Structures are given as structure tokens and as C-alpha cells.
């Protein structure tokens, strides 16, 4: 299974971007799909996740600005990012666990066994 991200770019503060993750196979049943990001010199952090029964999680700093969604007919997971801030800058990665739902430890990167190569998001002030 491969994950391929797209949609990154450079925007000014308060701008918007839509990231997309193309999954190379159908996902259904119990799974957890997520977006993580990593800024230079910082640890990778969870941004948002969605699972097979519709549970959605967001890190506090992106709530009300970011929206995660899925399109199973297209095997994609998207992240709509509005009101972008310079602190949102980083490499954004799509991740998946095709066995389990997200659960209480949804933000643990170790929970995800499949990762894309990332797409860069740069927000200037």
C-alpha cells in the first residue's frame, strides 16, 4: 500500500490550502487515517485523524481551522486548511493504520504503519 500526498505550497498568513492523500487501495472497515506534520528542529506531531466509524480528532491548535475528510470512492483523505498561520509551516505527512480504529492514542505516530513522503506547507507572515 502506498500513500501519496499532494497540495502543499507557499501561502501568506490567513491563506488556505487543501492537502490530499491518495491511497493505493480501498480502505474500509476498521482503519485510522491521519495527517501529521513536522517543522524543522521539532518532533513530528499529529494534526488530525479520521477512522472507519467516523471518529475525527484534531490537535487543539488547528480546531476550527482545519477539516479532515475522506472520499472512499476515490481512495483519498483530504485536509482542508483555512486561516493558516506561520506556526503551521512544516512537512505534512499522510499516515494510515488499516487494521485498527484511531482510539484514545490517535496522536501517537507509532500507531501508524504506513506513511507518505510528505508535502511541504510554508506560511509566511
Ordered per-residue pLDDT tens for the chain, 125 residues: 999 999 999 999 999 999 999 999 998 889 999 999 999 999 999 999 999 999 999 999 999 999 999 999 999 999 999 999 999 999 999 999 999 999 999 999 999 999 999 999 999 99
**Residue 80 φ/ψ, nearest 5 degrees:** -85, 125
Half-sphere exposure of 36 (CA within 13 A, CB side): 24
CA R_g for the chain? 13
CA distance 117 to 106: 20
CA angle (65, 58, 111) in 5-degree steps? 145
Alpha-carbon torsion (37, 42, 44, 46), positive or negative: negative
Which of 92, 96, 105 has the alpha carbon at shortest distance from 33? 96
Amino acid at each position: 500500500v502506498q500513500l501519496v500526498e499532494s497540495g502543499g505550497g507557499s501561502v501568506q498568513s490567513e491563506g488556505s490550502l487543501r492537502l490530499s492523500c491518495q491511497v493505493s487501495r480501498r480502505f474500509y472497515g476498521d482503519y485510522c487515517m491521519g495527517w501529521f506534520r513536522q517543522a524543522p528542529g521539532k518532533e513530528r506531531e499529529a494534526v488530525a485523524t479520521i477512522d472507519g466509524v467516523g471518529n475525527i480528532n484534531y490537535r487543539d491548535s488547528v480546531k476550527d481551522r482545519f477539516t479532515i475528510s475522506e472520499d472512499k470512492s476515490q481512495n483519498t483523505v483530504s485536509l482542508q486548511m483555512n486561516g493558516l498561520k506561520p506556526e503551521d509551516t512544516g512537512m505534512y505527512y499522510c499516515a494510515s493504520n488499516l487494521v485498527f480504529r484511531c482510539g484514545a492514542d490517535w496522536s501517537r505516530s507509532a500507531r501508524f504503519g504506513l506513511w507518505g513522503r510528505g508535502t511541504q506547507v510554508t506560511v509566511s507572515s
